[in-house]
Structures are given as structure tokens and as C-alpha cells.
Structure 1
Amino acid sequence: MFTVRTPRVVAARRLHRRRDRDETGRFLAEGPQAVREAFRAGVVTELFATADAAARHPEWSASLVDDAAMEALADTVQPQGLVAVCRQRDVPLEQALARKPRLVAVCVDIRDPGNAGTVLRTADAAGAKTVIFAGDTVDPYNGKAVRSSAGSLFHVDIVRARDTAATIATLQAAGLQVLAADGYGKSDLFDLSDLHRPTAWLFGSEAHGLPRDLAVDLRVRVPLYGGAESLNLAAAAAVCLYSSAKAMRSVE
């Protein structure tokens, strides 16, 4: 049985650090749901499990670890006994666009991993096939982001692009309208008549929003009918993406 000092456990533990994830192209997925989706996606390179967890999931072959090793591998207070080492799923933007996605979510300078994972989950649920992490955005393979995605990380094309302006230009050249979710936008989401068109939605951080100099097609606000000052990022993303999804389904 592996311990915290076993070299393979030591190497996997390093993946809690972004630097090591970037250098190795690997990340950790924790818990039965994430592990199941990772196996379906064909990206698992090694699975660690406690004896109890391995007995509960005999369908998977795992390296057995003791409780101390599992606590070191896991990123949660109460580990579920399963941690998989997975290959990262990045694809170049051009490759993702070659699949002609009709709905794309773009996270711009989002720093909170929980928000990043929730946008991934929401985009997947709304039928978006591509999620782009642009600019100075949190690592989508951060442990909290992976958990917050609830398996959706393994369902969509993941694109990472440092240059947000160039990313927008590439999306527009591919025929997508680029809409920025902006609480102060001049266009009301529910007044738009062309959400059936292929669309990329941009979402910025809750603290700073989107840069003002981005060459988007429209800045769109979600109307507020009550006394709330604003919607949080996850709620705004859900409203925008599902509005597009509904419009697209109406013309199929």
C-alpha cells in the first residue's frame, strides 16, 4: 500500500501547484463523479484509492493508498477516497472553432476558481461546446475549479488564450458574434432579436468586470427588476447562455 512517501504519491501531490500542473500537463480529479467522467473522457493516467473506496468501486483499477496519503492527495476536508491523475484537455482555439460551435463561453480575467468551474458547468448544461479562459484567468485545472465544474470540465473543449483581443478577433473571423455581459451595457438582453446566431459570450470578474477597450459586437446587460444592485457572475452566465440556447433551439 502506498504512503505519503511513495514517489508516485509525492509526484501526484505536486499537482496541487499550478507550476507543476503546467509543467507536466497533468491535474487531479477528486471524488467518484469527477473520476467517472475522467475515465469516460479517456484522460486518466493513474487512480489512487483507499481500500474502502476501491471496494466500493471495483470497476476501476487503482493504486491503494493509506488514509494519510489520501489526505495529502485530496483537496477537500473530507476526502471521498478517490483521486485520479489526468491529462489536461486543452485544445488550440483554431481546433475548437473547426468543430463549428454555435455557443461559446469566454471567461476573461476571472480569478475565482469556484466561478470558473461554475461557468464551465453552466456552459456545458446550456449546450456550449467550447469554454475559453482568456487573459489573466484562473487555472481551470485548479482543484476547486475542477470540483465546481461537477464533471463538465470533461465534456467541452477547453481553450486557454493569453491575448483576449486576439481571441475576440479570431471568434469574429470565424463568424461568431461576440457579446459582452456587462451590467452597464446599452443593450438589454431581452430586447435582442438575433441570439439565434452563433455567439460567444464574454464574462468578466465580479470585482472588475470586462475591460472597456475590448472590440466586442455588443455590451449586453441583464435587466434587474428588483432592488438588487447586480447579479453574480454565475447567475449572469446562466441567464445569458440559456437565452442564447433557447433562441438557437427555436430555429432548429
Structure 2
Amino acid sequence: MTTPSAPLTAGNARVKQARKLSRRSERSERRLFLADGPKAVEAALDVEGCVVEVFATLEATQRYSEWHGCVPAWTVVEDRALASLSDSVTPAGVVAVCRFLDVPLASVLEHVEATSRVDLIAICADVRDPGNAGTVIRTADAAGADVVVLAGSSVDLYNPKTVRASVGSLFHLPVVVEPGVRTAIDAARAAGLTILAADGHGEVSLDAAADILSRPTAWLFGNEARGLAPEIATLADHRVRIPIHGRAESLNLATASALCLYASASAHRR
């Protein structure tokens, strides 16, 4: 544990260097990102070699004393310095500098196939909202999915809002960043998965898809505003709609992904 004689200020060079990771270009160049809050930090500590350094207030340093020996450097900072590293309105007092976690889809699928069957994947195509992306990751984790893919022009996986919205799930399951949506679909199909597109105008109702859902599945979720591009939706084996029984026009991405992923998870466990 690295403990200075006095907590570091917001103007300290090390704090400034960490603060630069709020910029995507800086994250990409250094392949480092910030994990804000105790849930994220605790989850990151479970991934060997992930955490580079932890910045914490004096209060958080005392509260999470059992973590000190788990990191290469534990640095105490002033409250203002911690706030400058946090994207939260009410910082929880602890932020970790972490190494990038994303891995190539092919290697993930090969590893999963070698250890167990691949049953459930979530592919986000051009999902732009960081909160939605993080929530899909969290939901996929809760549903027992094997992999999440952020494909196409999706939001940066390491955007602070994405990391925070995942509530630690980013560290629990493999997450892939794949520039090509078609590439992700092809890889999932090659691994033996049925491709299901979540589409409000799909020909199959989620309520009547029990047989399809029981198969190893890759769910394809589209952009928040535009949904799936037609040329991408046609690549799916089936387009599945969630029935709307009331007067709502549609469901948001986070809710739709939860219903679809849990429907698959339930079908796999029957």
C-alpha cells in the first residue's frame, strides 16, 4: 500500500494522469480505464492483474482496509481529488485504475466451447447510450449469458457511465468489442448459435418462441432510436417481437433486452 504523508490533492501529477482517463483517446492509448465506486472496485479486484492502482479518500481507505493488500498501489487522496476522478454526482470515495478487459470474440468462443457449451450471447449493434450498454451487460450477467458483444459503432465499453451502469458485471463475464456487426453474427453462427433479432415487427412472438428459445442463442439488439438496420435484421434466423398488451408504443432497450435474455435463460433451464 502506498500511503503519502498527506492525502494527494486534485493538482497532484498522479491524480491528473488518472483524470485524463476520462477521455476516450487517452483510455485507448494507455489501455486503462477508471472503475468508480466500491461495487466496481470489488469486482475488479476479483480479476487477476486488472487493477493497477486505487485512489481513495481517507474515510474509504479505513472502510475498505481489507482491500489494501490486493492492489499494487493504494493511494489516499483528498475528497476534492477523488471527486475529480469520479463521474458520479455523489462519489463513493474509491476509484480504481484498471487494465482493459475486452478480448477477441473468436478466442472467447473457443475458450467457452472448450470448457462448456455456449448457450447465450448478447450482441449490441450500434447501441450508443452508455447507460443502456452497461445495463445490457448487467442483465446478461444476471441471466447467465456467456458473452456480451458491443458491435458496430456502439458506445465505448470503458465510458465511465457504461462502467458504472454495469455495476461490476463488466468484470464478471467476457465482453467483446467488435467493429463489424456481421463479423459478430458470423462468429456466433459458426459457434452453433441461433441468431435472434429483437424486433418490434418480428414474425415470431416472444410468448410463442419456446422451441426456438431452448436452443443455444445469440440475441441481436439494435440502436435505441432506430432499432436494427434492415440489412442486419435480415441476417438473423428469426426476428422476435415482444408483445405489447397495453397502449405503449414500444419498450426501451434495457427492458427489451432483460425480457429476451431471461426468456432464453428460463428456456435453457427447463
Cα displacement (A) at 1:246 = 0.7
Q: Shift of residue 185 of structure 1?
A: 0.9
**Cα distance in 1 between the residues matched to 2:17 and 2:196:** 42
Counterpart selection for 1:56 from 58, 63, 69? 63
Per-residue CA shift, 1:160-186, capped at 9, x if unaligned? 111111211111111111111011111
Shift of 1:132: 0.1
Q: Does 1:32 align with 2:38?
A: yes
Quote how far apart the aligned CAs of 1:126 are. 0.4
Q: Pick from 21, 31, 39: which aligns with 1:15?
A: 21
Tell me, in whole angstroms, the C-alpha distance in 2 between the residues paired with 1:19 and 1:198.
Answer: 37
Q: Per-residue CA shift, 1:58-81, capped at 9, x if unaligned?
A: 112220111221111111121111
What does residue 176 of structure 2 align with? 159
User: Structure 2 CA distance, aligned partners of 1:186 and 1:139?
Assistant: 32
Distance 1:206 1:68 in 2: 35
C-alpha distance in 2 between matches for 1:165 and 1:48: 40
Number of residues of Structure 1 aligned to a counterpart in Structure 2: 250
Name segments (4+ residues, structure 1) moved above 6 Å: none
Match of 1:120 in 2: 137
| Equivalent of 2:260 in 217, 240, 243 | 240
Q: Give the match for residue 199 of structure 2.
A: 182
| C-alpha distance in 2 between matches for 1:236 and 1:159 | 21
Distance 1:164 1:206 in 2: 16
TM-score normalised to structure 1 length: 0.97
Structure 1 CA distance for aligned equivalents of residues 29 and 196 of structure 2: 34
2:123–2:184 contact (8 Å) kept in structure 1: no
Unaligned runs of 5+ residues in structure 1 are none
Deviations 1:186-227 (A, max 9, x none): 111121212111100011122010110121111110111111
Q: Which amino acid aligns with 1:37?
A: A
2:230 match: secondary structure: coil
Q: Secondary structure at the match of 1:229?
A: coil
What secondary structure is seen at the aligned counterpart in 1 of 2:33? strand
* Alignment partner of 2:104 out of 85, 92, 95: 92
1:46 is matched with: 53
Instruction: Return the match for 2:230 from 204, 209, 212.
Output: 212
- Residue segments in structure 2 that go unaligned for 5+ positions in a row: 1-6, 69-73
- The Cα of 1:156 is off from its aligned counterpart by 0.8
- Cα deviation, 1:26-57, whole Å, max 9, x if unaligned, reads 11011111111110123111000111110111
Q: Structure 1 CA distance, aligned partners of 2:87 and 2:208?
A: 44
Contact 2:129/2:224 (CA < 8 Å) preserved in 1? no
Distance 1:142 1:206 in 2: 17
> What code does the residue aligned with 2:125 have?
V
Instruction: Give the match for residue 102 of structure 1.
Output: 119
Tell me which moved more, 188-197 or 219-228.
188-197
CA RMSD of superposed structures (Å)? 1.0
Displacement after TM superposition at 1:6 (Å):
2.1
The residue that corresponds to 1:223 in the other structure is 243
Shifted more, 182-191 versus 129-138: the winner is 182-191
Q: Deviations over 1:96-147 (max 9, x none)?
A: 1111321000111011000001000000000002000000000121111111
Q: TM-score, normalised by structure 2?
A: 0.90
Are 1:66 and 2:84 counterparts?
no
Partner of 2:94: 82
Q: Partners in 1 of 2:267 and 2:67 — Cα distance?
A: 41
Partners in 2 of 1:96 and 1:249 — Cα distance? 23
